[in-house]
Structure 1
């Protein structure tokens, strides 16, 4: 691949194609927080957790919480680091351990940010993720070449505003693709 120029997909969404064989990612929408020549990392944003709700997260960390904080959505972010909790959130980005992706969304795994969310003093737009999704160097590029992902550069409303069960279809719609017309079979002419 000498001569190829690396193009980072940080801040993009990956949409699983019907040909995706890994059940962890079937019909998933993944927000990429990092993508370098060394690998990629992100979170499945359309897979609500069946293991924990926000109240359970706060209780696990012995955090006092306001009633409104129990409505913060919790997702299974991926099959990696399932014992880790991460937050994707909108502004403000002033808590320690917060890493802005752009002016609209940041990644945090700090107890300070989680505590602020529990107290109702954190970012208005926020989602909690159990675990993450990761790819080794060249792995994601191979999967993209194998047609198991589509990419879409789109607004973060897919994380915070579009209902989770509609995110895959809405992301495809932004590409002008009807999900019914997608095939899991690919060939070469």
Structure 2
């Protein structure tokens, strides 16, 4: 099932339908860093049980869902956004998608309703691979790579649909995979 697209910053990793690792079951991961040091990314479709106002006390209006970004450093908070015009910080990782930025400015924007929930996504923890580890997992068909990382896909909140839509966007060769049952024993 190997596709020929290579991982790089701004691309998506899509887990194979029956991945055994529960952290990545039917996951879509946005790659925020990829190089000789390894790969870093965030799981886009695993919402957690916390809201931002639950973990940052002075963000009393922040009803932003916090997503499980991955199993590494699960006690750290990270964010991506598409509000550079107001935040004036962050590292561009894709077409109008930014990673991180000035958190104090972000808090002001959130508390003044100057940034919409659809423009930002928060994560507890991150996904990480040592140099060569992700390449090996791709070779073993654990991951597919997509170069489609449109902001509407990244900042959407339909977790169930995201994994399927991204696979369908890989083309007809992969579209059938989107219909595989979550539990193959139910087939």
Coarse TM-score class (shorter-chain normalised): 0.7 to 0.9
SS in 2 for 1:101: strand
Secondary structure at 2:125's aligned position in 1? strand
Report how many residues are paired: 172
Instruction: State yes or no: 1:22 paired with 2:17.
Output: no
Q: 1:48-103: CA deviations, max 9, x gaps?
A: 012x11221332xxx1433xx31x23100000111111111002266476212134
1:86 touches 1:109 (CA, 8 Å); kept in 2? no
Cα deviation for residue 160 of structure 1 reads 1.2
What's 1:127 paired with? 121
Show the counterpart of 2:136: 142
Normalised TM-score (structure 2):
0.80
- Give the match for residue 40 of structure 1: 39
Q: Distance in 2 between matches of 1:81 and 1:113?
A: 24
Counterpart CA distance in 2 for 1:15 and 1:97 is 28
- Give the structure 2 partner of residue 169 of structure 1: 164
Match of 1:115 in 2: 107
Q: Deviations over 1:125-153 (max 9, x none)?
A: 00111110000010000001110001111
SS at match of 2:74: strand
Q: Is the 8 A contact 1:116 1:122 kept in 2?
A: no
Structure number with higher helix proportion: 2
Helix, strand or coil at the partner of 2:22: coil
Q: Distance in 1 between matches of 2:161 and 2:179?
A: 14
Structure 2 equivalent of residue 4 of structure 1: none
Answering whether residue 100 of structure 2 is matched by residue 99 of structure 1, we say no
Give unmatched runs, 5+ long, in structure 1: 1-6, 185-189
Q: Is the 8 A contact 1:34 1:40 kept in 2?
A: yes
Please report how far the alpha carbon of residue 105 of structure 1 lies from its aligned counterpart in structure 2 after TM superposition.
0.6
Query: What are structure 2's unaligned runs of at least 5 residues?
Result: 1-5
